[in-house]
Structure 1
Amino acid sequence: MIALLLALGSSVAYGCADFLGGLGARKAHVLRTVLIAAPASLAVELLLWPVLGASFSAGALAWGAASGVASAVAFALLYKALAIGPMNVLSPVTALVSAALPVGVGLLQGERLGLAGLLGLPLALVAVVLVSAGHGAGSARPSRTALLTALGAGTAIALQLICLHQAPSDSGVAPLIIGRAVASAVTLTAAGLLRRRLGTERPAYAMSAAAGVLDSLANLMFLLAARSGDLAVVAVITALYPVGTVLLARGVLAERIYRGQLIGLGAAAVAVGLLALP
């Protein structure tokens, strides 16, 4: 139950972070947004170090660094996809990919689910698909570039989560700190190489920083959930984060929620209930 609650908290934080990051990336080049978000995330994790501890073993360093590279790619691709829009299609696409890969890894590593889990896990994946199918035959469909960007973002997110899960369980927040430091370094390097293409627009500083803080908290809750529960279950619950993005897009941007998305929201609630059962 603790793992389930942490995964739900991670899902909510990821959804809010994605919305703010995507919105911020509409005001300036995506790398300018990430340049604000990544250091803000690192600051949060450094503040958590004295509280939760950190052990910088070889495993923590290696898996943390790998997660950082994946995180940097995920940040840039996801915020770019959400900036292109529409948010309430592209966010669920990334979520489906980011859930499917960790679920496969968890099952390959020998995780076993009870009857409720066997029903809840595919239902949760179906819920993500339903939420993403909201536009039906409407005119607001994502471009090919936007869709490919979203698929790439989902793969990068999945690799980040898998790497965090593989880090030693006694390493505290060390994988997060290393990962975020590497992600910040990668982002700074990319920004330096592409500085002439970044434009002159100023990023939404507060919005970008808030996205980074929320992303850091989401990573922390995922890490704690994965250490106390099955990766397959934790990953698929965390992947329900588009629910938050879609609801925020509805409330702030007036993006319509379609019937299929409403069914998906209901399916998500049922899936979470099933996964909560022993």
Structure 2
Amino acid sequence: MIALLLALGSSLAYGCADFLGGLGARKAHVLRTVLVAAPASLAVELLLWPVLGASFSPAALGWGAASGVASALAFALLYRTLAIGPMNVLSPVTALVSAALPVTVGLLQGEHLAAAGLIGLPLALVAVVLVSAGPGAGPARPSRTALLLALGAGAAIAVQLVCLHQTPSGSGVAPLITGRAVSSAVVLAAAGILRRRLGPQRPAYALSAAAGALDSVANLLFLCAARSGDLSVVAVITALYPAGTVLLARGVLAERVHRTQLVGLGAAAVAVSLLALA
């Protein structure tokens, strides 16, 4: 139950971070937004160091660095995917892959589910797809390139989660600090290479910093959840993060919640209840 609650908190924090980051990206090039969010995120993790401790063992450094590379790759692939579109097709593909791969890894590592979990887990995967699906955009079909990018983005997110799960349980926040430092370096290098394409607009500093801070909270909650529960359950609950984004968009921007997403939210609630019984 504790792992489930932590995973729900992680999902909510990821959803809020995506919402704020999306608003910030409307003000300026997305890389400018990340250049503010990344140091804010790293600052939060450094502040947590004295409180939660950090053991920079070779395993913590290795898996943390791998998660950071995967995080940077996921960011690049995801935004390129959504730029090509159609979003209402590609977003569910990314979300499903990001949930299904860690579930597969967890089950291959010997995790077992009770009867309620055997029903709740596939239902949660369906909910991930439904919640992340936007309004229909007609009969548009994604190109092969866009579909491959969506699969790659989902796989990169999944690799990040799996790498964090593999970190030593006694390493504290060392993997998070290492991963954030690596991903920040990658993003900084990318911004330097693409600096002529970033435009003159200034980023929304407060929104971007808040998104970075929430992303750190989400990573921490996921790490704690993965250390106290099964990856197969924690990953799929965390992948419900689009629900938080959808609900915030409804409350703050008065965006319409579409019927498919409402069904997904209902399916998510049932799935979480079943997994809590597993």
Structure 2: gaps spanning 5 or more residues: none
- The aligned amino acid for 2:27 is K
Displacement after TM superposition at 1:46 (Å): 0.3
Displacement after TM superposition at 1:152 (Å): 3.3
CA pair 164-135 structure 1, distance change in 2 beyond 3 A: same
Equivalent positions of 1:15-94 (< 5 A) are 15-78=15-78, 91-94=91-94
Equivalent positions of 1:69-148 (< 5 A) are 69-78=69-78, 91-136=91-136, 138-139=137-138, 144=143
* Mapped contact 1:90–1:147 kept (Cα < 8 A): yes
Residues 1:159 and 2:159 aligned together: yes
Q: Distance in 2 between matches of 1:142 and 1:46?
A: 44
Q: Distance in 1 between matches of 2:141 and 2:220?
A: 31
CA pair 203-12 structure 1, distance change in 2 beyond 3 A: same
- The aligned amino acid for 2:73 is V
Which secondary structure state, in structure 2, belongs to the residue aligned with residue 111 of structure 1? coil
CA pair 9-92 structure 1, distance change in 2 beyond 3 A: farther
Displacement after TM superposition at 1:36 (Å): 0.9
Q: Distance in 1 between matches of 2:90 and 2:246?
A: 10
CA pair 207-89 structure 1, distance change in 2 beyond 3 A: farther
> 1:192 is matched with which residue?
192
CA pair 79-14 structure 1, distance change in 2 beyond 3 A: farther
Residues 1:213 and 2:199 aligned together: no
* Mapped contact 2:89–2:142 kept (Cα < 8 A): no
> 2:271 is matched with which residue?
271
> 2:170 is matched with which residue?
170
Structure 1: gaps spanning 5 or more residues: none
- The aligned amino acid for 2:180 is R
Residues 1:232 and 2:232 aligned together: yes
Count of aligned pairs between the two proteins: 277
Q: Distance in 1 between matches of 2:129 and 2:101?
A: 15
- The aligned amino acid for 1:120 is G
- The aligned amino acid for 1:118 is L
Which secondary structure state, in structure 1, belongs to the residue aligned with residue 34 of structure 2? helix
CA pair 15-83 structure 1, distance change in 2 beyond 3 A: farther
* Mapped contact 2:52–2:173 kept (Cα < 8 A): yes
Q: Distance in 1 between matches of 2:47 and 2:10?
A: 18
Q: Distance in 1 between matches of 2:89 and 2:20?
A: 16
TM-score, normalized by length of structure 2?
A: 0.91
TM-score, normalized by length of structure 1?
A: 0.91
Displacement after TM superposition at 1:251 (Å): 2.8
RMSD of aligned residue pairs (Cα, Å): 2.3
Deviations 1:169-198 (A, max 9, x none): 111110000000111111111111111121
CA pair 250-151 structure 1, distance change in 2 beyond 3 A: farther
Displacement after TM superposition at 1:155 (Å): 1.9
CA pair 220-168 structure 1, distance change in 2 beyond 3 A: same
Deviations 1:73-131 (A, max 9, x none): 22344456567888776654432221011001111111111111111000000112222
- The aligned amino acid for 2:22 is G
Q: Distance in 2 between matches of 1:32 and 1:141?
A: 31
Q: Distance in 2 between matches of 1:186 and 1:265?
A: 35
Identity over the aligned pairs, expressed in percent? Answer: 83
